[in-house]
A and B are shown apart, each in its own frame.
Chain A
Amino acid sequence: MTDHATATSATGPVPAPWPASTAHPPDPPSPEASPPLGQTAEQVRDRLVRGAQSAVLLVGVAVQLTSCLPQLIANRDRFGPWWTELVAFVMLAGVAVTAAAGLLRPRPMPRPLAFALCGVCVAASALASIPIPPDLLLVADDWSFGIAGWYILALLLRMRMRTIAAFFACHALVTLIEVLLKGVPERYITVQMGMVAVSVFGLELAVALLAVVLHHTASDAGEAAEREERTRTAEEIAEATHRDHQARYARLLDTTVPLLTGLAYGALDPGDETVRRRAAIETARMRQLFAETDEVSDPLLHELRAGIDVAERQGVSVQLAVRGEIRPVPQPVRQELVAAAAAVLASARTTARATVMRTQAAVRVSVVADAPAEIGAAIDAEQRTRTETTTTTKNGKLWVEAVWRTKSP
């Protein structure tokens, strides 16, 4: 047994033997972090619908205060029990206050509550018209008929047209039953009632239709906003990646250029083992840079293959084994994982085994090769922020494993 040591890379301020990238682009939005598709659209829609609901509610409140209230006072001694009208008025006012409070909350009102309030509106309308004689139903003296519809509209505006129409139908049915119970008045009054009903429901349904149009517009606007946001993010990532690449290409100047000039002027001997290894490492680093810009479905493996190519060209037999499903790995993490593996591959003498292991908890890239132990020491000394590296040497074998943990074990 020869030398052996196991070390976990220190992440302290150790000067790197070869430049590690420091200017990382921001992590591309990982699927967990990015907002679920349609969230922006949903926000836009919510804002628009809330605005429409507030407007309709305002109309309702205005009608109740300027038209219903004077009529209520005027009705005081005209018909039978006035208190039913008074209770209905308070009930409707209560609905208005609850709806307003609901609009001020960040979350939309729960459906059951909205439906219950609509029920209260219909009930209040029926209650208020109990003392009204049949020939005065639905006209100005029956102040509760129109107002209930406005509040129902304000409550249900974010729901489907069908739901709104169903509640209006319910309201109409209750009114119809009331008319039938009290006795159908003369024909011309009945016709008048019908005209009032048609104009009131017609107006309210028209507003509901507008709301449907608003829904569609909101979705379109939301999608447009989302597209714009995605484009902006992609642009920013591309920009940052580009800066990172430029920085790393620039850093090649410090390592590759001296090697090339040394070779060109004969200062370095290509037959020398160390020179050859330096050349191999430089090649691996450049290959990784080239590979990063390629569009491939499995970028991690693609970048690792670049390192394997370099080793194979030097006559090293490399065995690659991959386990686990492809999962997104942010570019800076990928770079750290592949950099360690590529350095070992580039220094292998005859054989190497490279593996990629992807599980829910971690992504691991490992290389075992007959590479010099100094390479392991150099990898240990390198600074890493996103991954952990462990090196083990035994019987002339160097084993480097880089792990990106996504979940604590």
Chain B
Amino acid sequence: MADEITVTVVDDHPAMLVGIEQWYAAAAEPLRVVASGATSKTAWLPPGDAADVVVFDLQLAGQTTPAFGELRRLVDAGRNVIVYTMRDDEQTALTCLDLGAVTFLTKTEGADHLVSATLAAARNRPYTPPALAGALSANTSSDRPKLSIREEEVLVEWFQSESRDLVAQRLNLSPKTVTTYLDRVRLKYANAGRPARSKAALVARAIQDGLINVDDL
């Protein structure tokens, strides 16, 4: 199938691998795991090296620190990496984003978020799950992109409620507008910090989609 999206999963829990495969198989869109394994080698060797998206567990067996180095190498090779981790602290999320991960998902965020994030990653579209929104909202670093009051509100409410409908109702917006705000925040971050192919693709795609103007940058 031409439109099929291929995924490489790097995770050291066999149950996790099986679960993720199941989630993709059950998705409405054609998604297929072409390779899976416990180390990042899976993503470098065929058939995993050609997959559209890499789902990457930051905490791999035998390592005491998050695998930021591996993540960086994958990003520098032009891969679309989704970080999928148990770690739930904002610093990790912000670091991953800065390194060029397409998005950051925590394992408490379930199947829907992973499938949506994978689709978005394959199409170079932004996707901001609630955990990441919370991290962006709590970001106090000095190089943080400047966000509008509305964008700040949407980030906080999306983090808290995990529901576009609830956020939309709370802020008197349409669910679509909520997504637009989240995407714009994500793009502001893509435009800041260390350059990466994934970030550039995200911004290019957003301009094509009419989400932002070249002037906005």
**Interface-side segment among A69-77, A79-87, A285-293, A319-327:** A319-327
**Interface-side segment among A171-179, A230-238, A244-252, A350-358:** A350-358
**CB <8 Å contact, B169 and A357:** no
**CB <8 Å contact, B134 and A321:** yes
- Pick 29 A–B contacts, CB within 8 A, sort by A: A4-B169, A6-B169, A319-B108, A321-B88, A321-B108, A321-B130, A321-B134, A321-B159, A323-B135, A323-B137, A324-B138, A355-B160, A357-B134, A357-B138, A357-B156, A357-B159, A359-B140, A366-B161, A368-B161, A368-B166, A390-B170, A394-B163, A394-B166, A394-B169, A395-B165, A397-B166, A401-B157, A401-B160, A409-B149
3 pairs of A and B residues whose beta carbons are closest in the complex: A366-B160, A323-B138, A323-B134
**CB <8 Å contact, B170 and A392:** yes
Give 5 A-B pairs besides A324-B138, A401-B160 with Cβ atoms closer than 8 angstroms: A321-B159, A323-B135, A355-B134, A368-B162, A399-B166
* Distance between A396 CB and nearest chain B CB, rounded to angstroms: 12
| A323, A368, A390, A401 interface centre (most CB from chain B within 10 Å) | A323
**CB <8 Å contact, A392 and B169:** yes
Provide the bound-state CA to CA distance between A392 and B163, in Å.
12
Determine whether A364 belongs to the interface, using a CB cutoff of 8 Å to chain B. Answer: yes
Residues of B within 8 A of A359 (CB): 137-138, 140
Determine whether B53 belongs to the interface, using a CB cutoff of 8 Å to chain A. Answer: no
Q: How many A-B pairs with Cβ below 8 Å?
A: 66
Determine whether A385 belongs to the interface, using a CB cutoff of 8 Å to chain B. Answer: no
Determine whether B90 belongs to the interface, using a CB cutoff of 8 Å to chain A. Answer: yes
Provide the bound-state CA to CA distance between A235 and B42, in Å.
62
**CB <8 Å contact, B161 and A323:** no
A positions within 8 Å CB-CB of B: 4, 6, 319, 321, 323-325, 353, 355, 357-360, 364, 366, 368, 390, 392, 394-395, 397, 399, 401, 409
Residues of A within 8 A of B101 (CB): none
**Contact among B88, B137, B170 for A399, CB-based, below 8 A:** B170
Residues of A within 8 A of B162 (CB): 353, 368
Determine whether B196 belongs to the interface, using a CB cutoff of 8 Å to chain A. Answer: no
Determine whether B131 belongs to the interface, using a CB cutoff of 8 Å to chain A. Answer: yes
List B120-136 residues whose CB lies under 8 Å from chain A: 130-131, 134-135
**CB <8 Å contact, A364 and B165:** no
* Distance between B14 CB and nearest chain A CB, rounded to angstroms: 24
Residues of B within 8 A of A325 (CB): 138, 140
**CB <8 Å contact, A323 and B170:** no
Provide the bound-state CA to CA distance between A319 and B90, in Å.
16
Provide the bound-state CA to CA distance between A394 and B167, in Å.
10
* Distance between A405 CB and nearest chain B CB, rounded to angstroms: 12
* Distance between A393 CB and nearest chain B CB, rounded to angstroms: 9
Smallest CB-CB separation from B156: which chain A residue? A357
Provide the bound-state CA to CA distance between A353 and B158, in Å.
12
Residues of B within 8 A of A360 (CB): 140
* Distance between B210 CB and nearest chain A CB, rounded to angstroms: 29
**CB <8 Å contact, A399 and B161:** yes
**CB <8 Å contact, A364 and B160:** yes
Residues of B within 8 A of A366 (CB): 160-161
* Distance between A30 CB and nearest chain B CB, rounded to angstroms: 19
Residues of A within 8 A of B156 (CB): 357, 364
* Distance between A202 CB and nearest chain B CB, rounded to angstroms: 58
Residues of A within 8 A of B135 (CB): 323
* Distance between A353 CB and nearest chain B CB, rounded to angstroms: 6
